[in-house]
Each structure stands twice: as C-alpha cells, then as structure tokens.
Structure 1
Amino acid sequence: MTQTESRLDGADFVRASACFVVLFHHLAQRIDARSELGGNVFAQVFNTVGGFGVGMFFVLSGFLLARPFWQALDDGRPLPSLRIYALRRAARIVPGFWLALTVTFVLSVTVFGFALDGWLCLRYAAGLLLVSDWHWTTLFPVEINGPLWSIGFEVSSYALLPLAFWALFAVAAGRLRGLPARLLWLAVIGAALLAHWLFYNTVEVDPSRRGWQYGLQGGAKTWMPWFNPFGFFAMFATGSLAAGAQVMLARFRSVWFDLIALAAIVAAGAIVWNDGLLGGGEFYGWLRVPYEFPLFQILIGLALAAGPSSRVLGRILDNPLTRYLASISFGIYVWHYVVLELVRVFWVPEIEHGTMRDATKFLVTGTVITGITMVIATLSYRWLEAPVMAWARRFEGPRADGTGVTARA
C-alpha cells in the first residue's frame, strides 16, 4: 500500500473487499440453511456478515475524505474549500445513486407489484433528497433494493465531517498539530457516541408489525433507533482518525508497517469469520453501535493507516484487478440486489430467501448475477459516474489543490 502523489494505494483493496462481502452476503442469504449446501462453512459465514462490508465502507470513506483536512491543519493552512468538498461528494454519489434509486422505484411498481401509494412515494422522495436515514419509515427509500439504505447514512457523515473539522480548526489551528490534534479528535468521536446514545434513548419506533417477516419496513423497525446517523458517523470518524495517523506516518517506510497492516487485516477477518460462524443479528458493539464497534473499525483504520508506509504488502493487495473492482464498487453495491431479484423473477425462482438447495445451480446463478452486475457497474462508471466527476471538476476553481486525494474517494 504505497502512497503516491494523487492516490493511496491499498484503499482499493479495502473497498473491493467490502463490496464483495456485501454481494456474497446477499447471495448466501438465498441458501437453505438446512440443506447440504447450507452446511458449507462459507455459506454459514456469509449468510450473516454483510454489515461488516458496510462498516468497512464507512471507515474507508472517513479515512479518504479526512486526509486533506489533516494535511491543511498540520501545514498551517486554512480549512479546505467546503464548496469543492461538497461538489466532489455530490458528483461522486448522487448521479449513480439517483439512477439506481429511480430505476428500482419504477421496477418495484411495474415488475414486482408494489402499490404506488403515498408511503412509497414519500420514501422515494426522502431518498432523492438524501435524508432517508433519519426515520424508520424512510430508512429503506425503495422496495426491492435494500442496500440503498446506507447511502443516506453516508451522506449524513459527509455533512458532519466538515462540521467536526470546522470545530477542530477553531480550537487547534495555529495552536495544535500532530499528535495533540489527533487526541483532540477523540472528542469528536465521543460527541458522536453521545449523540447516538441520546438518539436511541429518545426516538421511539412503532412496535406494530416489527420484524423482517413484514418486509423492509418491518425490518427498519428492528434496526432503528440503534441504526442512526450519529452511530455511523462514529465509524466514519474512526476512519478519519486513522487518516490523521497516516498523515503523520506518511514519511516513514518500513517492513514493520507491512506486519502491522497484515496483522490488522487478519484480525479483522477473524472477527468477521468468527461472528459469521456464531450467527446473530447486527453484531452491536459499544452503546449498540453496529458491527463490533469500535474494535472492528479500529482494525480497519489501523490497516489503512499503516498500509501506505509498507514496503511489499501494497504490491500484493493493490493489483490491477483490485483497482478495477474498486473503481466499479459503487455500481456493484447499488445494482447487485436489483439484478438478483430480476433473476429470481424471470429465470431462477428457487433463489428466493432461504430456499436454494442445489449447489451447482446456486454457483451458476450466483456467477451470472455477479457477471451481470459487474457489466452494469462498469457501464455506470464509464458513462455516468466518471464523466460527471470530470465535469464537476471544471467548477472547482483555484482552490482545487489539496482538497481531495482521488476521484474514487
């Protein structure tokens, strides 16, 4: 994971891994756990661990987006341009998300038979406005494409990050830098956890028809109020702290960093594997923040912080295939579930939740679903996401330098 002038090698490995953890999770959910196929250890693990992929995305995003702020603070420069920050975030997320959201909304009514009522329209509108994460009624902005729930949380973290750095710059600029400034960031994580605690102790969720047996709306009631923007920002801010550490370590190169990064990746993988074998819900950690918070997020952050100073590990992990998968990962995330459901309706009805028993048919169907998804994701990146990002950069102006690290961030 060596660092170059314009990007961080190694972050692509985390991004691609996170993406496929989520994809394989949703495929494994279709297996009959009582069958011979369901007894396979990999099927057992991936059946329950998809959320860890989402947790990896949040740590990685916080890591990438915080680096320019830490660099500016350490160099004595002012807060990076928030206009450019917002422009880049919107260009990266909004076009692909809006397209997937709208196509799914139309398909949910025309193909999957959901009623075009006021509630469905409200959820869709909340998704378009990027505020679906603030209430259980809109947590899933559309039917069918459940993975879109995380985009609202991501956008809220995008908004909270510059606010946190604005406060940090107000206190530390010209006074603190280096390790003292990083220690002060712990107050940001603490404030996020306090807000999370206040949210789940004050927000009430309707207990009627609560549970996944009642669909996405019923499932949302089992996640909220513990799934809320502040808890996910705590994960995001953990990645931001890792970015602060990486900026301090950037001038060093040593095999010790290879060992540290490798140990962190192995330990994080062990958590996923062991929790997957145990089964369970959302693996709540401190204060019921999901996905074994903070241990799992710290390990991912440690790998990201140590990786750019490694000597060998990055050449192994950050290969051309990994970079390609990372470049289309957003498209894979927002499209794979729609492809899966369309395959179920039009080709393989056995791939319903918890019903697939034939190992050969499952492998063939899963491969086809993955292949179709990758084609759609490649087309989305080539013809929508990358052109919009390039177009948006024309409006950045003279303060573009130092406000970001890479378009894929």
Structure 2
Amino acid sequence: MSQQDNRLLGADFVRASACIIVLFHHLAQRVDYQSELGANALIRVFNSIGGFGVGMFFVLSGFLLARPFWQALDGGEPLPSLRTYAIRRAARIVPGFWLALTVTFVLSIAVFGAVADGWLWLRYASGLLLVSDWHWTTLFPVEINGPLWSIGFEVSSYLMLPLGFWALFAIGRGRVTGWPARLLWLVVIAAALGAHWLFYSSVTVDPLRKGWNYGLQGGAKTWMPWFNPFGFFVMFATGALAAGAQVLLARFRNVIFDILALAALVWTGTIIRRHGMEGGGEFYGWLRVPYQFPLFHLLVGLVLATTPSSVILGRLLDNRVVAYLAQISFGVYVWHFLVLDLVRKYWVPEMDHATMTDPTKFLIASGVITAITMAIAALSYRWMEAPVIGWARQFEKRRVEATTMPATA
C-alpha cells in the first residue's frame, strides 16, 4: 500500500484499461474487416481482444477481494466476516446490474423485437438470481446487451473465494503463513482447474443451431463448456495469489518494483497486440481456460502485486483521469453495448456487426456512443452505486455497534 494514500497503486490503471479494451472491442467489431478502415492496425487489434479485458477484470477482482483474507491469515486472526463480505459485494454489483438487466430486457422486447417467450423470461430470471453462468441456455441473460454474460461468472467467483480461504484457514492459521501459505494457495488453483476439466469433460452442449450466426444463444454454444464458473474462478484465484504476494511486499518501496511492473505491462501489451493482429478466437490456454491462461493472468497479477511498491510508475499510471474512469467502469461495462445498439437502431444503421466502412462516420458515432456511455455511467455511480455502497457501509457500522453495545437491565 502506498504510504501517501490508501489506494493500491496500479489497480485503477488495470480496471480502466480493461474497461477501455472491452468498449473499444465492441466498437471495432462494427467495422467491415475487409474494408480499408478494417485494415487499420488498431481496429484489427481491438476487433479481437475484448476477452483480454474480461480476463483483467477477473484477476483484478480476485486481487482486491483476497487481500483482507491474506492479512487476517498472516496476522493469526479469524476468517474475515463473510456477512460483511457478502453485503459489500451485493451493494457494489447487484443494483447496477439489475437496473441494466431490466432496462435491456424491456427494450429488447419493446424496441428490438425480441419474443417474450418462456425462454427469454427464464434467461432474465437467471440473470436476476445471478446464476446465468451455469448453462448455455442462460449464459446471455438478455438479448442485445451481450456483455452482461460475465456478471454470473463474477458472482460465482465471489462465492468460491471464501471457500478456498476457509480451507486455507482450517489448514494454515497459526501454522502456515507468509510465502508457504501462498504456495498452499496453488492447491486451490489446481482444484479449480480440476473442476474446470471435469465440467468441460462432462457437459454436452446441444449442437443444433450452434454458432454466432444464430444469435447469442448460438454463440453461447461455442463458448460452453469451456466457459464455465470454475474456469473463470481460476483467473479470479490467480488474482488472489497476486494479492497474497502484494501483502508480503507491501512494506517495500524500491525502483526495482517499477522495473518489474513496467516489464510486466510491456509483456502484457505485447501479448494483446500479437494475438489481436492474429485475430479471432477466445485464446484458450491450459486446459482450455480462456485468454491465454496462465501467462496473461500471471502478468496482470504481477503488475498488481508490484506497482503498489513502485516509486514512480504507480503514480503515473493512476492519474486523476484513470482513477475516475476506474470509478465509473462498472457502469461503462454494463451500459455501453445497449447504447451502441440504440445508436445503430435510431441513427447510424451502418454500426451493425462488421459493416462500417466510413472512417469519419465511425469516429463520430464511436465518440457519441462513448460520451453517452460515460455520462450514463457517471450518473449511475453518483446516484445509485455510491449511495448504495455508502448505505451498506453504514449498515455494517450499525450492526457492529449493536453487537458490541452492553446489555441493559
């Protein structure tokens, strides 16, 4: 932790970068790949690399949420309150997600002509219950707003993380701490990899109407069973491992960490650019875990683990613009795709998938989409996300005061 503030330097940069990668990816997908505009190097890269942004989000989430567990383990303290953990996670993600999910569900029927049959209602219900990630029929909980698929995987990872630490506390508290405890966490990652393998070895996906040309549910069949909660928890748990390293390194500050973090950033960027230029695919890694696992995720974890101990780099990366973008990034993620398709519907029909060829029109439309998305995300954070988070923290305080207040006669 930086001694001059309470922020983990580098975390805002990773969050903002992941947000921009996903946003620009979905904009670039609207470009005709065979056109002169599609030949642009940046368009070609962003056309393919959206998944890397999702992978960065998962590593970052695991990193941030695991730190209190590592601190308690090293200090010989009990497992942190799972009630507080659940309240904070629900406050941070559920209201914004439910609003975007519900608005999208209504507009998918009223504006985009989706058929409100039993399957669409089932998908919507699975999204509300945060369990859409367990089957290909519900993987995309609504039509139109595709990026909402990842929220279910995020919630499953929220649930699995305390289970991993519960086992680690049962084995290690008071006996195994420091680096040996981090090595023991590798067993948790291995167990998640084993569950991922069992899932994709056992689950059969209906081959009928399989492929993105059959819409989101057809596309879901190309992702599952390799896209499953255990595989995404592997990414999450890799971030948790990085958090364990950062907790042990937090007392150090040295230019060596600037060098390590910068090298990891450059290597990460090289991977993204190379695979982006090659194009296509979900970049499966070990045991077909997506997004070049484990190298890509370990590099992101290295950035997160070392940047807080840097002398200069962390402050350069986490500037005010980056910090603000990171703050509203959840809103950007859950709203940008819906905004994009509304702009396509009512203003720029060329912003359909792989059809845009006019550079000027593309830049103008992309700028408008980005500006509207940022405005919605800022309003969402200011008037819903931040108040709910603040309420949850006050609720925690009231509960603590109630449990510590002496009994009266």
TM range, smaller chain: over 0.9
Query: Paired residue for 1:381?
Result: 381
Task: Say if 2:333 is the partner of 1:354.
Answer: no
Cα distance change, pair 240–398 in 1 and its aligned pair in 2 (3 A): farther
- Superposed, 1:250-265 pairs within 5 Å as 250-265=250-265
Query: Paired residue for 2:405?
Result: none
Query: Paired residue for 2:266?
Result: 266
How far residue 34 of structure 1 moved from its aligned partner, in angstroms, is 1.1
- Superposed, 1:154-169 pairs within 5 Å as 154-169=154-169
Q: Please give the per-residue CA displacement for 1:237-293, whole angstroms capped at 9, x wherever unaligned.
A: 000000000000000010000000010011011000000001121000000000000
How far residue 95 of structure 1 moved from its aligned partner, in angstroms, is 0.2
What is the CA–CA distance in structure 2 between the aligned matches of 1:208 and 1:4, rounded to whole Å?
Answer: 58
What is the CA–CA distance in structure 2 between the aligned matches of 1:3 and 1:269, rounded to whole Å?
Answer: 28
Q: Which runs of 5+ in 2 are unaligned?
A: 401-409
What is the CA–CA distance in structure 2 between the aligned matches of 1:280 and 1:362, rounded to whole Å?
Answer: 22
What is the CA–CA distance in structure 1 between the aligned matches of 2:5 and 2:380, rounded to whole Å?
Answer: 27
Task: Say if 2:121 is the partner of 1:121.
Answer: yes
For 1:204, the aligned partner's letter is T
- Superposed, 1:63-74 pairs within 5 Å as 63-74=63-74
Query: Paired residue for 1:319?
Result: 319
Please give the secondary structure, in 1, of the residue aligned with 2:349. Answer: coil
How far residue 2 of structure 1 moved from its aligned partner, in angstroms, is 3.4
- Superposed, 1:8-407 pairs within 5 Å as 8-397=8-397
What is the CA–CA distance in structure 2 between the aligned matches of 1:399 and 1:342, rounded to whole Å?
Answer: 43
Please give the secondary structure, in 2, of the residue aligned with 1:394. Answer: helix
How far residue 178 of structure 1 moved from its aligned partner, in angstroms, is 0.2
Cα distance change, pair 371–245 in 1 and its aligned pair in 2 (3 A): same
Retained in 2: the 8 A contact 1:62–1:239? yes
Q: Please give the per-residue CA displacement for 1:56-92, whole angstroms capped at 9, x wherever unaligned.
A: 0000000000000000000111000000000000000
How far residue 6 of structure 1 moved from its aligned partner, in angstroms, is 3.4
Retained in 1: the 8 A contact 2:10–2:303? no
For 1:253, the aligned partner's letter is R
Work out the percentage of aligned pairs sharing the same amino acid: 74
Cα distance change, pair 67–87 in 1 and its aligned pair in 2 (3 A): same
Retained in 2: the 8 A contact 1:3–1:308? no
Please give the secondary structure, in 2, of the residue aligned with 1:227. Answer: coil
What is the CA–CA distance in structure 2 between the aligned matches of 1:313 and 1:82, rounded to whole Å?
Answer: 34
Q: Please give the per-residue CA displacement for 1:276-322, whole angstroms capped at 9, x wherever unaligned.
A: 00112100000000000000000000010001000000111100000
What is the CA–CA distance in structure 2 between the aligned matches of 1:6 and 1:170, rounded to whole Å?
Answer: 30
How far residue 231 of structure 1 moved from its aligned partner, in angstroms, is 0.4
What is the TM-score with the length of structure 2 in the denominator?
0.97
Q: Please give the per-residue CA displacement for 1:218-239, whole angstroms capped at 9, x wherever unaligned.
A: 0000000000000000000000
How far residue 397 of structure 1 moved from its aligned partner, in angstroms, is 3.7
Superposed CA RMSD in Å reads 1.2
How far residue 9 of structure 1 moved from its aligned partner, in angstroms, is 2.2
Number of aligned pairs? Answer: 401
Please give the secondary structure, in 2, of the residue aligned with 1:353. Answer: coil
Retained in 2: the 8 A contact 1:88–1:392? yes
What is the CA–CA distance in structure 1 between the aligned matches of 2:77 and 2:349, rounded to whole Å?
Answer: 58
Query: Paired residue for 1:404?
Result: none
Retained in 2: the 8 A contact 1:81–1:399? no
